[in-house]
Chains A and B, each alone.
Chain A
Amino acid sequence: MGESTITGARIRPAVQLVGLRKVFGTAANEVVAVDDVHLEIGEGEFFSLLGPSGSGKTTVLRMIAGFELPSAGAILLEGQDVTRLAPYDRDVNTVFQDYALFPHLSVHENVEYGLKVKGVKKTERRRRAGEMLESVRLAQLGSRRPSQLSGGQRQRVALARALVNQPKVLLLDEPLGALDLKLREELQVELKQVQREVGITFVFVTHDQGEALSMSNRIAVFNHGRIEQVGSPRDIYDHPSTSFVAGFVGTSNLLNAALSHRLFGVDAVHSLRPERIRLVHAEVADGETCVSGTVTDIQYLGADCRLRVTLDNVDGTTSGDRMLATVASDGLVGVALGGPVRLAWPRFAAYTVSSTDPTTDQTTDPMRVDFTGGTPP
């Protein structure tokens, strides 16, 4: 991935990670949590670290915050090397997954804590904390203890407590993970709004690809401690550069080399989004690839339907290759379970991806459908 592909980057990077590596455990029994991570996060960016559980996102975040020392590599904040600095000497703040609010302090005191520690005068920090609570709409609850708040309210206190310090970078570790879906969607909007208002760089960890896509300027997709791809949500979605990304972000048909060879004459794995596929009732348009097969399953999703199709070979026999297609429900005329079907997609909708270790990237996302297992004839 070249620098040229970075679309949202500003002139000055707020965070630079250079060859970052973190190894846990003893020499005999080591776990490489983060490996050779290079990253530049621009000032004012809403940057997401996306990846499955255990892929090293939290570890990267903790190294930026200073809670963990990297085993190798460097961390720069606004161009300044902070690799060895303690957390309290770094101008970053964190919103923890469990919020980590101080239970013995009131909401107001929690928000004031950082200012108090830095020696900000009482009246000044009162005012700033009050304003901050106002902006997260908690002004009325300042005297409560964290234990007397709802989950969403706690989340906002945690946000206020971090933001009030006006850090250069705000680190958020799955801040919405503990909330129910409805509240999460509400807070996603709110969070994004806050970020736009304060203009602080956000580094946002999530394993929810929807969340990452909808909120971020850019996303880094992690797998096994390494970055698979960095790019804008569109980039990542439309042009996943590896089969892992294609599978992890959204749903993809991964067409194996043999099938690709038959269809495109190219001997490489291709990725094809199901929603780019259409049903062919009459004829195939120019520049489209067309296949035929048998419907093995129809999933009704409301406006759309999801078809599972087993592809035919050129000679009309059934091949082992399967394909998933998302089509409009009202266009589902003449398609029946077990019946024949023809599918087509624009040529450019399928593109090559580099194949990462196929044994490991299959199990990560329940949403994705496995197509690489198709046996060539």
Chain B
Amino acid sequence: MSERTPVGGHSAPLRGVNRLFRRHRRLGLAALLTPPVFWLVVIYIASLGLLIGAAMFRLDPRSHKPTTELTTENLRTAFTDWDFVNVVVRSVFVAATVTVLCLVIALPMAFYISKIAKPWARRGLIVAVLMPLWAGYLVKGYAWKAMLRPASKFGIDKDGGFLASVFGWTPGFGMVAVILALTYLWLPYMVLPIYAGLDRLPPSLLDASGDLGARPLRTFRSVIVPMLVPSIAAGSIFTFSLSLGDYIVPKVVTEGKIRLLGNLIESTLLAPNQPLAAAFTLWPLMIIITYLIGMKRLGAFESL
């Protein structure tokens, strides 16, 4: 083959387009970005606007349909009624607790997988971490309910669920159950970014820290954790927002006794009271946006 073979097999018009894009980089960029930007603006921003708008409509009490009459009543109810603010506080508490628990479990887990486990075991462990994600969400929720079921004096299976029959103790269907189940559900979303972060961590940094006199715990605290902050922040975005938005598992594992923000929104929407539900929806929106801004400061988006 001679060196003067003409470049490429493109047809002339294609080459024309190519040249056009090469000459006008902006044009290429615009063509590339238009669909996602369109998606972002129309689907996200516009629907956000609609949501806020929807919260301003008055509900017709007879038909339970939104009217076109404007009111701030829904917003006032959603944001000033202490009973509802209480649900918000509880939900944030649950989401934060789940996030911290996930972190506490995921850190050593990811560390073990990434730095201690033998290379061949590593892949198996990663698969094991990911495996539960393949199972249905509802299946896992009901599995937890089944495991948490306390022993009962009456009923068909008096021994109770797995925990009660094997360990003789179960936290029952309460707050602990919600936190446990949610922690279980979202743990992989914390493990993976941390594992990825650890994988990116050059081993020589750990050697260097030890070399300079730091014991393992000190190295963990002064080198590993600070360097994992972006990964942790990224993971926590998942665990926090997923926990904050969940309503089915909390309902399932507490027999409907504990209500979180999601339950409040669901029941209001089904009431049906769309305007008030829209007003409630602004709560998680605000919380998540605040959270994301905070996490961005920590560099979470560089490690996604």
B partners with A: yes
- B residues within 8 A CB of A117? 209, 212-214, 218, 222
User: Is B204 an interface residue when CB atoms closer than 8 A count as contact?
Assistant: yes
User: Is B215 an interface residue when CB atoms closer than 8 A count as contact?
Assistant: yes
**Quick check: A161 and B207 within 8 Å, CB to CB?**
no
- A residues within 8 A CB of B223? 102, 104
Q: Which of B213, B226, B229 contacts A88 (CB 8 A)?
A: B213
Residue-wise, chain B 199-223 has the 8 Å CB interface mask toward A (1 for contact) of 0001011011111111100100011
- CA distance in complex: A165, B213 (Å): 9
- B residues within 8 A CB of A88? 210-215
- B residues within 8 A CB of A65? 207, 211
Most buried by A among B207, B210, B212: B212
**Quick check: B202 and A87 within 8 Å, CB to CB?**
no
User: Is B227 an interface residue when CB atoms closer than 8 A count as contact?
Assistant: yes
- CA distance in complex: A94, B212 (Å): 8
**Quick check: B210 and A86 within 8 Å, CB to CB?**
yes
- B residues within 8 A CB of A66? 210-211
**Quick check: B227 and A104 within 8 Å, CB to CB?**
yes
Main secondary structure of the interface of A (DSSP, over half): loop
- A residues within 8 A CB of B229? 104
**Quick check: A102 and B208 within 8 Å, CB to CB?**
yes
- B residues within 8 A CB of A93? 211-212
User: Is A118 an interface residue when CB atoms closer than 8 A count as contact?
Assistant: yes
User: Is A96 an interface residue when CB atoms closer than 8 A count as contact?
Assistant: yes
- A residues within 8 A CB of B218? 117
**Given A98-B202, A100-B202, A103-B227: A114 touches B212 (CB 8 Å cut-off):** yes
Q: Which of A87, A100, A161, A165 contacts B205 (CB 8 A)?
A: A100
**Given A98-B204, A100-B204, A100-B208: A114 touches B227 (CB 8 Å cut-off):** no
Find the B residue at minimum CB distance from A171: B211
- CA distance in complex: A141, B208 (Å): 21
- CA distance in complex: A88, B223 (Å): 15
Interface of chain A residues 33 through 79 with chain B (CB within 8 A): 65-67
**Quick check: A94 and B205 within 8 Å, CB to CB?**
no
A116 to chain B, nearest CB (A): 8
| B interface residues, how many (CB within 8 angstroms) | 18
- B residues within 8 A CB of A118? 213
- B residues within 8 A CB of A96? 204, 207-208
A132 to chain B, nearest CB (A): 13
**Quick check: B212 and A165 within 8 Å, CB to CB?**
yes
User: Is A222 an interface residue when CB atoms closer than 8 A count as contact?
Assistant: no
**Given A117-B218, A118-B213: A87 touches B207 (CB 8 Å cut-off):** yes
**Given A100-B202, A114-B212: A94 touches B207 (CB 8 Å cut-off):** yes
User: Is A371 an interface residue when CB atoms closer than 8 A count as contact?
Assistant: no
B17 to chain A, nearest CB (A): 39
Residue-wise, chain A 89-110 has the 8 Å CB interface mask toward B (1 for contact) of 0001110111011111000000
- A residues within 8 A CB of B210? 66-67, 86-88
Find the B residue at minimum CB distance from A62: B207
- CA distance in complex: A344, B288 (Å): 86
Find the B residue at minimum CB distance from A96: B204
- A residues within 8 A CB of B227? 102-104
User: Is A248 an interface residue when CB atoms closer than 8 A count as contact?
Assistant: no
**Given A100-B202, A102-B223, A103-B227: A94 touches B214 (CB 8 Å cut-off):** no
- CA distance in complex: A97, B211 (Å): 14
Interface of chain A residues 275 through 291 with chain B (CB within 8 A): none
Interface of chain B residues 203 through 251 with chain A (CB within 8 A): 204-205, 207-215, 218, 222-223, 226-227, 229
Find the B residue at minimum CB distance from A161: B212
- CA distance in complex: A102, B219 (Å): 11
- CA distance in complex: A166, B14 (Å): 66
User: Is A113 an interface residue when CB atoms closer than 8 A count as contact?
Assistant: yes
**Quick check: B205 and A102 within 8 Å, CB to CB?**
yes
- B residues within 8 A CB of A101? 208
**Quick check: B205 and A114 within 8 Å, CB to CB?**
no
Q: Which of B204, B211, B222, B226 contacts A87 (CB 8 A)?
A: B211
- CA distance in complex: A88, B218 (Å): 11
- A residues within 8 A CB of B202? 98, 100
**Quick check: A114 and B207 within 8 Å, CB to CB?**
no
Residue-wise, chain A 243-272 has the 8 Å CB interface mask toward B (1 for contact) of 000000000000000000000000000000
- CA distance in complex: A104, B212 (Å): 16
**Quick check: A114 and B204 within 8 Å, CB to CB?**
no
**Quick check: B226 and A94 within 8 Å, CB to CB?**
no
**Quick check: A94 and B208 within 8 Å, CB to CB?**
yes
- B residues within 8 A CB of A103? 227
A61 to chain B, nearest CB (A): 11
- B residues within 8 A CB of A98? 202, 204
Residue-wise, chain A 138-166 has the 8 Å CB interface mask toward B (1 for contact) of 00000000000000000000000110010
- A residues within 8 A CB of B209? 102, 113, 117
Residue-wise, chain A 110-147 has the 8 Å CB interface mask toward B (1 for contact) of 00011001100000000000000000000000000000
- B residues within 8 A CB of A87? 207, 210-211
- CA distance in complex: A97, B222 (Å): 22
- CA distance in complex: A116, B215 (Å): 12
- CA distance in complex: A181, B114 (Å): 37
A120 to chain B, nearest CB (A): 10
Sort A-B residue pairs by CB-CB distance and give the 3 closest, nearest first. A114-B212, A100-B204, A100-B208
Given A104-B227, A113-B212, A114-B213, list of 9 further CB < 8 A pairs? A86-B215, A88-B210, A88-B212, A102-B208, A102-B209, A104-B223, A118-B213, A162-B211, A165-B212
A-B contact pairs, 13 of them (CB 8 A): A67-B207, A87-B210, A87-B211, A88-B214, A94-B208, A98-B202, A100-B207, A101-B208, A102-B205, A102-B208, A104-B226, A117-B212, A165-B212
